[in-house]
Structure 1
Amino acid sequence: MNALLNKLLSVLAPNRGEYVEIDRDFNIIDTSAGVQRFVDCPDDISKGQDIRLGFPELFGVEDILTEIIEGEQESFEIKGIARTPNNDSPIYFDIHIINNLYEEPVEKKLIVIIEEVTERMTLEQSLIQRINETNLLSSALAASKDYVDKIISSMADALLVTKPSGIIKTVNQAAEDLFGYSEAELVGNSISMIIADNKLVNKANHAPFLLNEVLNDVEAICQTKSGEKLAIAFSCSAIQTETEGLENFIYIGRDITERQRTQKRLALQYATTRIMSESATLSEAAPKILEVICENLEWDLGEIWEPDKQTKETGNGNEEEDSIVLRCVDSWVKPSVSIPNLMAHSQNTTFTPGLGLPGRVWASRSIHGLTNVMYDTEFSDSKPISQAGLQQAFGIPLLADGEILGVLTLFSGDVQQADEDLLRTMAAIGRQLGQLIKRKQAEEALRYQQEQTERLLLNILPKPIAERLKQGQDTIADDFAEVTVLFADIVGFTQLSQRISPPELVELLNVIFSKFDKLAERHGLEKIKTIGDAYMVVGGLPKERPNHTEAIAEMAMDMQAAVTEFSKDMGQEFHIRIGINTGPVVAGVIGVSKFIYDLWGDAVNTASRMESHGLAGKIHLTATTYKHLQDKYLFEHRGKIPVKGKGEMTTYFLLGRKETKDDSKFDFT
């Protein structure tokens, strides 16, 4: 025993081990080489990372760390932290946090020292085990009438002695205090009234080797007189009675409920942080977060409620105003709990602020708890919840920067003890979820804005040109050896504008030009612009294509058909002039604000002249374009006409397609 004590003392010597240096924002400045073995993911402890990713135990103590940085507190310690790397043996360590006020010049940062205490913890547990074994063996050897008193007087933990049948013979005061029963209520009754796990009792009572060995740290769930469930670590052993061959069984129990709760709550915060960082959307993260919350905090049902704005009429029946109702957007149910039709019921149930548990939490922005849920008026008509026998409920606000964004509700079939640590954990989770919701809302708004910007940009520019601009290309000007340009103009537009109102005129142009836009998209052509009642489209750019002239010809004939159909719908006759020319152009983007994609070159000017020198209802084109189309289309030879700025030119009117058995050649999509 002295050797054990000496070894324990040597392990507890001030050996500080590894260190991490962090700044006032808790970001890592420097670390020692071996610190990675104390974290689950080595990347979490790299320079620049938030130290709380690697050591989630530091969540919730930021105020203390700030006080240490400012010199208001000397140091802070967290002891007995456990890690189990790669399913290997667990390691234990202590965290010591100090500032560097003694360094010159003074920088406001913290030194986090990690000291491995695995050996010390092992020795402490071994020492306790030896003490227990010594007490048990001494009592068994004594076999005297006062053995029970000696055991009781030597043990601070709960102690129960039973017959082989499991009937309790003796208890100590610690057992009475722990389980809430008096000695008279326990003695003479079965130990199963305390230990719900019959496997432990059967294992202890039917193990002959317990005369020579002890079952150590066997965890079991026990129940107190008030119905509270406790996690107890038992050491079990058989002791010889005065009658040879007859043994009694001794149970020494240590309450580890708080330790387990702390470990689970720390694991919960760590898991929640990782889920949030790895999830792209709230809908992806919500079911995972609800599952880890319920499993670690031992809740049977979890729900997330978010506001849903609805419009309602005001008293005068004319105006409308927005009102908020809370609607369930996600839920998780423990697999062993049967709640049929829960999600459908929750989705069809809404709460207004101030009403129901979600509504009260929303209105007050604070945690609310309910016991005896089945008898509460707001749940008494809820068949899924009442059928499940849920007893207790908690509601937690999801807050971010002082704004409430939702409500988390949790339900349990057992009575949960709402200790301060649980409330702090719930509040922290509420803030984490609130920040997640706000971040995802901001990301969604940004994504929507980017999509709108992209859509607007593609309405202004061809997609390849837009991509080049986004890649940072400042000047875009491309030469195209041959394209076909079309101009169209509504005949009599000036006179028409004098007969109808401006809004009607704009609506008329919008209907016609929208039809033209769809035709351009169908034929794979690029609309360039509209100027007043003029429409300009081109084939063969920005992506070159061999049949651009035919595509423009088809577009022109479809435009005439569209205007004819529009005239019938409006009950008024409309005509367009169309001019076409083929030739080289320069295409590019001009301007830095309100920029457009435009064409330049003699071929463009000539196409415009074909339109202005054309006739109403006719498709007027140059000889150059005619040569590309003469084998597939019908024309009327117009002859030579004077063209402004060009002199005399031979031109043609396009009449239609020549008859062909293969209509697929006119598919220009």
Structure 2
Amino acid sequence: MLKRLLKNTKNMQLRLLLVLPFVLQIFIAVGVISYLSIRNGQQAVNEVASELSREIGDRIQLRLQTYLEIPHQVNQFHADAIDSGLENLDNLPTLDRFLWRQIHKFDTLTSINISTPNKGYIGIIRREDGSITIGITDKTTGRHQSWATDHQGNRTKILRTNPNNQYWEQPRYQAALKAGKPTWTEISLSSNPAYLRVWATQPVYDPRGKLLAVTSSSLSLSQISQFLRGLKIGQTGQTFIMERNGRLIATSTSEEPFYLPQNTQKPERLLGVNSTNPLTRSTAKYLAAIFSNFTQINSSQSLEFQLEGKRQFLQVIPFRDVGGLDWIVVVVVPESDFMEQIHANTRMTILLCFLALMLALLLGLITSRWITQPIIRLSAASRAIARGELDQYVEVQGVGELRVLATFFNQMVVQLRESYKVLKQTNEQLESRVEERTAALRLSEEKFALSFRCSPHPIAITTLLDGCYIEVNESFLHLCGYELQEVIGHTTHELQIWANPEEYTWIIQWLDVEGAVRDWEVRFRTKLGEVRTVLLSAEKIELAGEVCLLCIGNDITERKLMEKALREQKEYLRLILDNIPLQVFWKDANLVFLGCNQNWAKAAEINHPEAVVGKTDYDVLPNREIADLFRVQDRRIMETMTPELHIVASKPRPSADGQTVWLDISKIPLQDSTGKVIGILGVVEDITLRKKAEEALRVEQEKSERLLLNILPKAIAEQLKQNLWNFRENGFAKSNGAMLIAEQFDDVTIMFADIVGFTPLSARISPQALVNLLNEIFSTFDELVEKHGLEKIKTIGDAYMVAGGLPMPREDDAEPMTNGDIASRTAQMALDMQTAITQFEADKGEPFQIRIGINTGPVVAGVIGMKKFIYDLWGDTVNVASRMESQGMPGRIQVTATTYERLQNQYLLEKRGTIPVKGKGEMTTYWLIGSR
């Protein structure tokens, strides 16, 4: 077709040729402009619609995040208040005014609830009419009461009562227990009035993991629909939100996300594909057809679909939050909202272009006639010159360029006549120059032959098709081991020069494409069968009218062998380094990494050891401060030529689980054969497990120490540990193998105390309650012992034994205690014990009294036996003190005459008189009344 068109143009007139291109250009311009106008309009619509959809989607996401954060913030507020003790879970009804103020403060919430596993439930609800009710459930009885409130939050009257409210079975309570963290319940549908709501719920645990309460807050999702209806989305655009199961949550239309089925008054959730709104329904069906399952939508996507022949722009945005919500936000904008004005502009553009085409056609016809007349005269003169008529002259009037063209045409005719005269002389000179060039070419060939023969690199010339050798130099013969007559006239196939014949085929194919080959690595076989590696360069040349192949080689066999040996040595060294269990790295004198082993690369989170080469500490460490510190250390080691060994430090970057990693670091300066420092070698060992073991051992030792000090006085505990160490190290024991500790104390005050009436009490209460009560009393006595600097010896049933003046003076005493100080502290503790037992009597409602006896004198104190050590006292002083308690009176403190002598100046004492004491006979005793 193109040939036919070109053939037809040969007879075409100049006038038509001048007009036709302009008309075609304008016609093409009209078409292109119309096409671009429509296309640019569509692109503009696409961009505007996409930008509008993204902006609407961003606004919806921001609104949802803000709206849905509120219930979790309220739940966390209540969880913090419960954890700090600000909210009393033992008396939930007292929280009603507090919750009333909370729901007034957060006007988007519809209810706030606190549920406990043992104490009950309290909740506050905002109703559709704005009124607020309070619901309280007693866990013991299970009765639930709903109260109306006034404008100040006071309960006014009972609205309804439920005798059996099992609030712990409600979804919001069970969802919190199942998740164990803040979460959302499934969306539920309230029936009267009908609206969608969702609960944010959060469990609250004590430090031991015991559930204290579940706090919940609910939101009405109808407010999301109100927000969507307030958005401006083009003229007829819509947006809606639905769950992954396809049920609607909110929509910008007036349609509700639920409906009333026939023959029932209970509303049900509405699926997007069943919406009564055509655009919402068609969009949901399109998404269901595209994704087949809404759970496959994991990222924001821009889509298009047709509705009644019109294109719709669609933006789908997944929305998730930390509580587990997983919704889909859909924004749909019809293309027709934007295209009406663009179509009008396109029609006007086409009309104007058509008028311009008609005008251009008319002006082209007039102009072509004006231009073609002078050109016709020039054409006739040219045909005459071609026939040898060189006396032509053309005169042109009108167009300035054509006048210039005629002037130059006339000058050309004059010059043409002169050129004929010079042509003969030029031919004679040309023949002389050809002879000179032939001689120079012969000399050049002689020089090439000399270079060819003397080149140190093998050179060969072969035919291109069959590879027959035409010429080779001495270096080629020396490489292959052949004589000249064995090569010339023979092909590469006959001599089996190529170790891999396919390489020759590849070279020929490459030459056909590129025309030359540069430094290809190939393998040649010598006459003796040895295979040599050669870098080959080749290109096509022409000899005697035939295309030949010129090949120049460079024998690199020895270099390849050296490279292979070096590579094997490097791989062997790498194998050794990577199998070392330690982490190894090395740097040059400028502290640039030269290499590392696999263990160090893994610890530094580098993919491969080779990747560290050329990097510095700034590239591999987490921050610049740590890198500067390491570089200062490295420079100090190189400058002082002193290694630093076994430096224990934590790793700058923690492990993947966030735990601290401990390292044992050694750095050694590297020196060359002259002793010059050329770098530094680092060896690192991960000692995290060892550090953890040491820390665990230290913690266990501290626990053992605290347990031992709870059993024995500190001085006795230290002495007992020393005896145990001697026994283990030296293999000896005292007192028939026992860890005997015994010491004489000359002046010790002993106190025995017994709770009166405790035996009858044990018959009325449970053993657990009895032990708990006794623990409270004796814990109070333990605090008094610590306060007065005395030593608790032991408890026997409901009896309590205390001693003062052993085993060592208190560390906080500035001066050693006198005998009177010891007795005084014991007496003051006895008085404080009476006060404490009186307080217990008032708190518990039980008739508690305490009987106390005190004696002063010498004792023997120590630890005996091999197991279950106990620090105990022996001697007559202990026995008499016990008799003072057992033969005393309830609510009174009986002391001996010896103790009386110590206390008479500081305390009020009353003489009891002489009483018989078992094992001692008659003794004078006194009652301790109080301090002076």
In the superposition, the TM-score normalised over structure 2's length comes to 0.28
Higher helix share: 2
Q: Which has the higher contact order (CA 8 A, sep 6+)?
A: 1
In the superposition, the TM-score normalised over structure 1's length comes to 0.38
Larger radius of gyration: 2
